[in-house]
Structure 1
């Protein structure tokens, strides 16, 4: 299923002008790009996820130039499209830098690209999984 620009704006909670600005900056490229002024663009669900991710970065203080720089860095490093970078990469920001989170390490994409940060990321899903395994093992030991 795909969506018009109007539907994309409504579904993501973004103002139509914000969607258009992200398109002009080429931070988002719809699955079916329009061919000229006034032509119909169509957005996939993945495009909608990318729009929302860009909006989160924007609302956190990441300006268009910095956002574009971070996305271009991630595109070059991963070989992914801008949409795939935004829709498929766990990103973290302090408003000044955008970090790519991989496993439990955050890497700078702006100030020191590729440099791991001193942030500590709690890998909650892995922590819960390990604890559940420990509890189950302990119960088995107690049952014997």
Structure 2
């Protein structure tokens, strides 16, 4: 649900709603359908939300973030845990091995990195700390 997803990603519910409405990160499980309906976010969605937050915090433009997120959507969930996103603040690069990281650093310009495996573990930890919810209501037999 939205409040759980925003809490696990470290963003406000307002940001979550805006990003869903603009298509930056759309809920894979269920989109909102009219007033009162709730969006349902997958683990992968929450991972993407947290990546967007980290890129924004690092000063990357929303335009570059959209390009990076669209590219990451095309990868399988398991592949994401081995990806490191590198950015010089202008462009975002996807690295899947140490040599690619080293090649980017050889240019001598300042770069920052987001290892998605670490973000993956952060999201797992955040979700594990949340109280669980029942999907089906308990029926009182008394």
CA drift of 1:16 comes to 1.2
Alignment equivalent of 1:99, drawn from 73, 93, 101: 93
CA drift of 1:51 comes to 0.7
CA contact (8 A) 1:90 1:101 kept: yes
Structure 2 runs not aligned, ≥5 long: 107-142
CA contact (8 A) 1:105 1:119 kept: no
Question: Relative contact order, CA 8 A, sep 6+: which one is greater?
Answer: 2
Please state whether the residue corresponding to 1:96 is helix, strand or coil.
coil
CA drift of 1:8 comes to 1.3
Please state whether the residue corresponding to 1:99 is helix, strand or coil.
strand
User: Structure 1 residue 70 and structure 2 residue 68: aligned?
Assistant: yes
Q: 2:22 maps to which residue?
A: 25
Aligned length: 104
Output the aligned Cα RMSD. Answer: 3.0
* TM-score, normalising length: structure 2: 0.59
* CA deviation profile, 1:79-121 (whole Å, cap 9, x unmatched): 448xx5xx554212222111101212448xxxxxxxx95425x
Alignment equivalent of 1:90, drawn from 84, 106, 112: 84
* CA deviation profile, 1:39-94 (whole Å, cap 9, x unmatched): 2101122221111011101111112112112333x25xx8448xx5xx55421222
Q: 1:119 maps to which residue?
A: 105
* TM-score, normalising length: structure 1: 0.58
Q: 1:5 maps to which residue?
A: 2
Structure 1 runs not aligned, ≥5 long: 108-115, 121-144
> Take 1:41 and 1:97, find their aligned partners in 2: how far apart are those partners?
31
User: Structure 1 residue 57 and structure 2 residue 58: aligned?
Assistant: no
